[in-house]
Structure 1
Amino acid sequence: MSHLFFFLFLGLNLVFPNSTVSSTHEALGKAVCPLNINHFRKLIIQSSQPLQLLSEAAECQYVLQGIRLLRSQYLRVSGNFTLPPDVAEVCWDLFGNLFDEFMPRLRIESTCGFKRSLLSQVCNNIVNRSQFERLISPNELNQIRGSCYKSLGNTSPCHLCVDPLLSINKAYFNVPDGGNVTDCEGYPFIYAAAFANRFGPTDLGTAKCLFLLNFSRTSARSEPHKAVILGVLVGCLHGFVGAVLVVWCVWMWHSRRTKRKRTNLTQLGTTSLPGMEMVDGNTALRRFTLDEIKRATRNFSRDNIIGMGGYGNVYKGILEDGSEVAFKRFKNCSAAGEEAFVHEVEVIASVKHVNLLALRGYCTVTGPFEAHQRIIVCDLMRNGSLYDHLFGSGMKKLSWPIRQKITLGMARGLAYLHHGVQPAIIHRDIKASNILVDETFEPKLADFGLAKFTAEGLTHLSTRVAGTLGYVAPEYALYGQLSERSDVYSFGVVLLEILSGKKAIIPNDHSYETLLLTDWAWSLVREGRLLDVIEEAMPELGAKDEIEKYVLVAILCSHPVAYARPTMDQLIKILENDCPVPSIPDRPFPLLAHFDDKEMSMSITGLRDTPKSAEQHTLVHKSDHPVQNDGDKGVISES
């Protein structure tokens, strides 16, 4: 009889492996995952979306939204947002096994950067439903319940539901962890799917609207045999047509290549590259010829150079119509990098604002006897840069009203880049020499050569670090993590320069130590000596309260912790209205307060930048992935 029970148990284990394992876990006293992962597997199977054809970023987003859907279903049943740590570990392993089945090349932790604690970590001290509802105002809760109650399968009701969730997300859950640690940004959607929508998170319309998961069934499954036959016939037909097209394309490519070679050998003027044609179709940019630019700059005379940097030189020139312009000529160019140049031209041309430098046109040329050329043409700011007026020899000190005007203009221009265009644009190189001023001291943000788009739905980008030492935010310099708040840090440093008349890096004439302006200013503010930050003998000095407000704003913006900094739209409200400056958290450490010779040699690369007399330093650091722990810091190398 005992043998009979043994074989019966073995047979059940083979036929129902999942249930047997689960029962075995219970028998052994181990945690059992309460998430309905099997139902989620069924939704994936019935879906017509081919998961293995998704890009890596799309796969990671799919995983994150899947976690949110399962957490929403768990919240609906248990009333809790998070799982106990031991249970979360079991669920995480099961969830990973699920996606190993459907996305075998994806590694949730190493590829996407998600932490194992994602299911158990608490956001804003919210563990359960009642704590969430106490945090949100009654009006906002009623708005969620009213707009998300109906079926969300169509576009219109979906938008009505999502809009208030985005507002709540921005107001209460804007935590810069990128969804990797606590997934604060998902809380409003998890709650709405669990309690506001009457159909629940696993409803196809709810899942598509709130979690961007399309589980719609394909109609072809109802008649599988017909679908297979039709697929074979269509495949054969496409194969034949495809073969004919391939032969034709190869013949056309060979003919055009031969013709292009002949043309290049006889062409001594400019050659327009095909990548720029899309710019002509969408913008009013003018395509300059190289001969026009040579005439305007006297064949790129050194006397016409008004700026020098790592990207190349800036020349002033006069066009045939008599207008004065600036020509930004890039060095070490090749036709292979044309896509990046087109990106820069599109960024500059598509953004129009009174505090952003306007682009007039461009030139891209190549010829058999000279290197590839890339040039952009901008308005010439005859009054120079903010750097000239703050640190130029023989320049008159700027008055307090002018410094105020420059500060507000900078803030408006940067706020427009971050919040006025879609997708948002991160400048990445805000510094005094990139703030140009016109005759009325209206500032213009210049040099979008380092501009970077942020992907919708992400709070930071891990990317190649390029910027100027003293202005670069710590999280960007150390880890390559870039967000709008990285620009806010640079803005804070420039504002400190405006207020103090000191450079971002303060040299010590009596030793080899170097002090950052941010650390110097913080040491004074911490002692209550806010007015000591202000440059001595500043003309037309304003009211004490107003000046102290600007000092506190500069300190807050240049805080080493990214989340402590305000956004640019919040900053505009503080500067232009009577809004108080938020409390400033203590700085956890002096940020690179002193450099010895060894540290300087590994972190600084000397570079002459606009204006020619301004010695700047450029950081160059490559980081292709977010840092997973504090010990995994990128090395900033000399170049």
Structure 2
Amino acid sequence: MAIENYDKWESLGRRVFDIYIQGNRVEKDFNIKEAGGGSFQGFQKDFPAQVSENYLEIHLFWAGKGTCCIPTADTYGPSISAISVTRDISKKIKIGLVVGIFVLVGVVSCLSVMIFCFVRGRKRLQRKKAEELLGIDSRPYTFSYAELKAATRDFNPANKLGEGGFGPVFKGTLNDGRVVAVKQLSVASHQGKSQFVAEIATISAVQQRNLVKLYGCCIEGDKRLLVYEYLENKSLDQALFAGKSSLYLDWPTRFDICLGVARGLAYLHEESRLRIVHRDVKASNILLDSDLNPKISDFGLAKLYDDKKTHISTRVAGTIGYLAPEYAMRGHLTEKADVFGFGVVALEIVSGRPNSDTSLEEEKMYLLEWAWHLHQNNNEVELVDANLSEFNEEGVKRLIGVALLCTQSSPQMRPSMSRAVAMLLGDIEVSAVTSQPGYLMSDWKFNDTTSFMSTDTQTTKTDNSHYSSSTSTSVTADQEYLPTNDTKPILQEIIRE
């Protein structure tokens, strides 16, 4: 009984519950006395709960053990004194962090999209401007101005290769290691913009081993630049006419240069998708690579033409001394104008002298006149450059014969460039030259051989520097390119236009 009474007495102080929060049992047989370490020992027990709709449900159910009702004795045992609800700050921080990350990602994404759209729109605008400027479908690679500025070391004067009417030309090295020639449009250039357009439109549409390669351009703000392959041996006129600093070109090399130029022109006239007249074939516009292979450059004056038409009527543009008579006199342009220019260059290559030299005796002053005189007397080998100790006499006569055919006064009597190539190679016989070529008469003297263009713009002189552009210069009476005195008024009228 005592034991029974003891057991009964001991059970009066036991509080055993099952605890439910939000309908879920979170504690089974929870004995408050044992959890607190004895009677009159206060402690706090935390339970996490997810609160939704501002509602928190807590239940303490008797577990079927210990005291289930309020005892009548004086000892009631420990009990729960209070229930409090506290917000979990750590969760708030986590939620805030997650929300912050999402917001940050959203902002960064929006900024990225905006920047992408801005850059893309700017590039599209620049491309649109370029297309409007060029008026062509082809899209050459576009360099940034900063890239070309870095390549040329801020257009350092030490890297300057030359300067023409178009503007200065600088040597540069791109990030990928390519060495290039950067042609910069001068702000003061009046015809440079049209030549810039013509050059890109032309050279972007053609590719051949004897044409200089255009890597791309820069059209950024008011900046206009062209980027070409760099050719180590500069221009043919420097190789031939620079005196002691000239390159030594033996006869086989000279012949190969002539043949390469002829093939390049044949491609422009007959083989490319677009039929192109260069309009300024001259020694300074022929560049030489490291192996002395020739490459025709400077397409700023080039014209597209329809071979179904007899000719194009256009204002005169080109270089005095290389202009075909029908073009200089009447503005009639066909591919035969380039053929004439090639003939003059071929004679310069054979002789190692420019097409006119007033320091020489009168009969040798004008190259075409002298060559014709030697041909009439069957003494063509006298034309050969004195610096050539060895040469092929038959090859020299063949080349001079082709050159005289190419410089005939009548364009119909000049061969096509493909036929000129065949004659140079010996595949067909060189036609007999029966009439003298069109050339400067001895009473029409001039002071230089610079380029000119008959336009409404102002005119500017230029030198024949490496990579220099052909530009205009005023033409005076003693500079007119005429075969006879009777044609003088015609050219004067063209120039006045």
Answer yes or no: same fold by TM over 0.5: yes
Who is 1:592 aligned against?
441
Query: Which residue of 354, 377, 386 corresponds with 2:236?
Result: 386
Q: 2:208 & 2:143 partners in 1: Cα distance?
A: 23
Query: Which residue of 417, 423, 432 corresponds with 2:268?
Result: 417
Q: Deviations over 1:222-256 (max 9, x none)?
A: xxxxxxxxxxxxxxxxxxxxxxxxxxxxxxxxxxx
Aligned-partner SS, 1:563: helix
Shift of 1:592: 3.4
Tell me which protein shows more helix as a share of its residues: 1
Who is 1:476 aligned against?
327
Shift of 1:522: 1.1
1:373 pairs with 2:230: no
User: Is the Cα contact below 8 Å between 1:468 and 1:619 reproduced in 2?
Assistant: no
Shift of 1:378: 0.8
Shift of 1:396: 4.0
Q: Give the alignment of 1:623-634 within 5 angstroms.
A: 633-634=490-491
User: Is the Cα contact below 8 Å between 2:145 and 2:218 reproduced in 1?
Assistant: yes
Q: Deviations over 1:23-58 (max 9, x none)?
A: xxxxxxxxxxxxxxxxxxxxxxxxxxxxxxxxxxxx
The AA in structure 1 aligned to 2:324 is: A
> Relative to 1, partners in 2 of residues 1:335 and 1:580: Cα closer, same or farther, differing over 3 Å?
closer
Query: Which residue of 604, 611, 617 corresponds with 2:465?
Result: 611
Q: 1:336 & 1:600 partners in 2: Cα distance?
A: 19
Who is 1:191 aligned against?
none
User: Is the Cα contact below 8 Å between 2:167 and 2:469 reproduced in 1?
Assistant: no
Aligned-partner SS, 1:506: coil
Shift of 1:424: 1.0
Who is 1:507 aligned against?
358
Query: Which residue of 565, 584, 587 corresponds with 2:414?
Result: 565
> Relative to 1, partners in 2 of residues 1:527 and 1:442: Cα closer, same or farther, differing over 3 Å?
same
TM-score by length of 1: 0.50
User: Is the Cα contact below 8 Å between 2:347 and 2:367 reproduced in 1?
Assistant: yes
> Relative to 1, partners in 2 of residues 1:539 and 1:286: Cα closer, same or farther, differing over 3 Å?
farther
Shift of 1:510: 7.5
Who is 1:272 aligned against?
126
Shift of 1:339: 7.5
> Relative to 1, partners in 2 of residues 1:291 and 1:515: Cα closer, same or farther, differing over 3 Å?
same
Shift of 1:488: 0.4
Q: Deviations over 1:485-536 (max 9, x none)?
A: 100000000000100011022122679x993311121121122211111111
Q: 1:507 & 1:584 partners in 2: Cα distance?
A: 27
The AA in structure 2 aligned to 1:519 is: E
User: Is the Cα contact below 8 Å between 1:489 and 1:559 reproduced in 2?
Assistant: yes
> Relative to 1, partners in 2 of residues 1:442 and 1:294: Cα closer, same or farther, differing over 3 Å?
same
Who is 1:363 aligned against?
218
Who is 1:553 aligned against?
402
Q: 1:638 & 1:514 partners in 2: Cα distance?
A: 32
1:404 pairs with 2:255: yes
> Relative to 1, partners in 2 of residues 1:327 and 1:638: Cα closer, same or farther, differing over 3 Å?
farther
Q: Deviations over 1:255-297 (max 9, x none)?
A: xxxxxxxx9xxx9x99826242488996573211111111111
Aligned-partner SS, 1:585: coil
1:486 pairs with 2:337: yes
Q: 1:571 & 1:298 partners in 2: Cα distance?
A: 44
Query: Which residue of 378, 382, 387 corresponds with 1:537?
Result: 387
Query: Which residue of 566, 576, 581 corresponds with 2:430?
Result: 581
1:288 pairs with 2:139: no
User: Is the Cα contact below 8 Å between 1:496 and 1:517 reproduced in 2?
Assistant: yes
Q: Give the alignment of 1:75-114 within 5 angstroms.
A: none
Identity over aligned pairs, percent: 35
Q: 2:162 & 2:448 partners in 1: Cα distance?
A: 28
1:466 pairs with 2:317: yes
Who is 1:318 aligned against?
173
Q: Deviations over 1:441-497 (max 9, x none)?
A: 111110111110012411211112111111111111121111111000000000001
Q: CA RMSD in A?
A: 3.8
> Relative to 1, partners in 2 of residues 1:519 and 1:509: Cα closer, same or farther, differing over 3 Å?
closer
1:448 pairs with 2:305: no
Aligned-partner SS, 2:211: coil
Q: 2:338 & 2:322 partners in 1: Cα distance?
A: 9
The AA in structure 2 aligned to 1:291 is: A
Q: 2:282 & 2:422 partners in 1: Cα distance?
A: 22
User: Is the Cα contact below 8 Å between 2:461 and 2:473 reproduced in 1?
Assistant: no
- Tell me the number of residue pairs that the alignment of Structure 1 and Structure 2 aligns: 358
Query: Which residue of 263, 266, 289 corresponds with 1:438?
Result: 289
> Relative to 1, partners in 2 of residues 1:594 and 1:303: Cα closer, same or farther, differing over 3 Å?
farther
Shift of 1:356: 0.6
Query: Which residue of 332, 341, 366 corresponds with 1:516?
Result: 366
Q: 1:336 & 1:541 partners in 2: Cα distance?
A: 43
> Relative to 1, partners in 2 of residues 1:591 and 1:338: Cα closer, same or farther, differing over 3 Å?
closer
Q: 1:336 & 1:546 partners in 2: Cα distance?
A: 41
> Relative to 1, partners in 2 of residues 1:598 and 1:327: Cα closer, same or farther, differing over 3 Å?
closer
> Relative to 1, partners in 2 of residues 1:559 and 1:617: Cα closer, same or farther, differing over 3 Å?
farther
User: Is the Cα contact below 8 Å between 2:356 and 2:365 reproduced in 1?
Assistant: yes
Shift of 1:413: 0.4
Q: 1:525 & 1:618 partners in 2: Cα distance?
A: 34
The AA in structure 2 aligned to 1:384 is: K
Q: 1:285 & 1:437 partners in 2: Cα distance?
A: 24
Who is 2:6 aligned against?
none
Q: 1:298 & 1:504 partners in 2: Cα distance?
A: 38
> Relative to 1, partners in 2 of residues 1:377 and 1:453: Cα closer, same or farther, differing over 3 Å?
same
> Relative to 1, partners in 2 of residues 1:600 and 1:612: Cα closer, same or farther, differing over 3 Å?
closer
TM-score by length of 2: 0.64
The AA in structure 1 aligned to 2:345 is: V
The AA in structure 1 aligned to 2:249 is: L
User: Is the Cα contact below 8 Å between 2:162 and 2:468 reproduced in 1?
Assistant: no
Larger radius of gyration: 2
> Higher RCO, 1 or 2 (CA under 8 Å, sep at least 6)?
2
User: Is the Cα contact below 8 Å between 1:271 and 1:364 reproduced in 2?
Assistant: no
Q: Deviations over 1:552-610 (max 9, x none)?
A: 11111122222221110111111123411112122287533343579999x99883334
Q: 1:428 & 1:382 partners in 2: Cα distance?
A: 25
User: Is the Cα contact below 8 Å between 1:314 and 1:327 reproduced in 2?
Assistant: yes
Who is 1:330 aligned against?
185
The AA in structure 1 aligned to 2:355 is: A
> Relative to 1, partners in 2 of residues 1:336 and 1:378: Cα closer, same or farther, differing over 3 Å?
closer
Aligned-partner SS, 1:362: strand
User: Is the Cα contact below 8 Å between 2:408 and 2:438 reproduced in 1?
Assistant: no
Aligned-partner SS, 1:521: helix
Q: 2:203 & 2:308 partners in 1: Cα distance?
A: 23
Q: 1:342 & 1:456 partners in 2: Cα distance?
A: 22
Q: Give the alignment of 1:193-342 within 5 angstroms.
A: 272=126, 274-277=128-131, 283=138, 285-332=140-187, 341-342=196-197
Shift of 1:549: 0.8
User: Is the Cα contact below 8 Å between 1:466 and 1:619 reproduced in 2?
Assistant: no
